[in-house]
Amino acid sequence: MIGDKVHGKMIANRLLTDVEDCMLEDYHLPEGYIDIGMFTTSCDGIGYVAADDATKKANVEVVSIYSTYGGCGKFNDGQVFGVISGPTVSDVERGLRYVRQFTEQEAALYSISDDDQTFIYAECVSKIGKYFAKAYNLPVGSSIAYLVAPALHGAVGIDEALTQANVDVVKFWGGPTHSNLCGAILTGTQSQCKTACEGFKDVIFDCIENPIEY
């Protein structure tokens, strides 16, 4: 039903130790890193936030991560394929556990369809880790709002989030992404990022419940 809260899903994960030279080169592993953890999550937005969360709780780096189209068969869902690495096998194992924990226990999608086939994702990250800091040139510990939704609804939601909250745009995906989404990463104080998330969700739910036809 509309408004249902649904957790993410880890599709698969695997630890590889002492990887071959081709993987060392392709994944650009830091000097001395030879072990990797690979994972795939449904809903690409959750995968990125989960990867960053792992860098806060384990001694790991995100060495490769990207979205793929398809996911769970829902028209607006995609998957993330991510690779993390660390100085020891136990570091990588710990990182994979935190990716799973965030994905399946902490993150949440919100349904915008009666059959729970279409979702939005609005996550207030109170303190970002090393991955987001490096990827978006922000200080470690900054607060962000990570917002994604189907293309039209996402644009409406982001416009409302920027109207309601005193935040800056870090990244904006205007056209449909590989997973048919529109999204943005916004930064500001933690309270303002929470306001942005709530404004984003509320206006999208209003669009669904009170459609205007011209």
Residue 189 lies in a domain: yes
Mean pLDDT of 166-182: 85
Instruction: Indicate whether 12 and 88 sit together in one domain.
Output: yes
- Last residue in a domain, options 72, 107, 142: 107
Give the model's pLDDT for residue 92: 98
pLDDT beyond 90 at 195: yes
Q: Residue 186 is encoded by which pair of tokens?
A: 């916004």
Residue 214 lies in a domain: no
Q: Average of pLDDT values for 22-36?
A: 94
- Neighbour order of strands in the sheet with 5-6: 5-6, 109-111, 119-125, 143-150, 181-188, 168-173
Residues 30 and 54 in one domain: yes
Identify whether residues 41 and 66 lie together within a single domain: yes
Q: 122 and 36 in one domain? A: no
- For the stretch 39-63, pLDDT in tens is 999 888 999 999 999 999 999 999 9
Residues 87 and 19 in one domain: yes
Q: How many CA atoms lie within 13 A of 72 on its CB side?
A: 17
Please report, for the domain that includes residue 159, its CATH number. 3.30.70.1710
pLDDT of 73 reads 42
**Does residue 185 fall inside a structural domain?**
yes
Predicted confidence (pLDDT) per residue in 63-108, tens digit? 999 988 654 445 455 688 999 999 999 999 999 999 999 999 999 8
- For residue 1, being part of any structural domain is answered with no
Q: Does 85 share its domain with 32?
A: yes
Contacts of 26 (CB under 8 A, 6+ apart): 64
* Domain identity same for 41 and 58: yes
| 29 and 16 within one domain | yes
Share of residues in the chain with pLDDT > 90 (%): 72
The percentage of the chain sitting over the pLDDT mark of 70, rounded to a whole number, equals 93
User: Are 166 and 205 in a shared domain?
Assistant: yes
- Taking residues 151-159, what's their average pLDDT? 93
Confidence band for 159, pLDDT divided at 50, 70 and 90: very high
Region of 37 (left: φ > 0; alpha: ψ -120 to 50; beta: rest) is beta
pLDDT > 70? residue 147: yes
64-78, 94-108, 129-143, 173-187, range with the lowest pLDDT: 64-78
- For residue 70, what pLDDT is reported? 55
Indicate the number of domains in the chain. Answer: 2
Dihedral (CA of 29, 83, 92, 62) sign: positive
Q: What is the pLDDT of residue 75?
A: 41
Both 162 and 77 in one domain: the answer is no
Last residue of a domain, which of 91, 107, 123? 107
Residues 6+ apart with CB under 8 A from 56: 127, 128, 129, 130
Q: Is 173 a member of any domain?
A: yes
Query: What residues make up the domain containing 194?
Result: 111-209
> Same structural domain for residues 38 and 116?
no
Asked whether residue 130 is assigned to any structural domain, the reply reads yes
- The predicted model scores a pTM of 0.93
In a domain, 41, yes or no: yes
> The tokens of 139 are what?
């200080």
Confidence of residue 28 (pLDDT cuts 50, 70, 90): very high
With b for 16 or more beta-carbon neighbours within 10 A and e for fewer, the 55-88 pattern comes to bbebebbbbbbebeeebeebebbbbbbbbbbbee
**Residue 202: inside a domain, yes or no?**
yes
Question: Where among 107, 142, 174 does a domain terminate?
Answer: 107
Q: Note the residue count of the chain.
A: 214
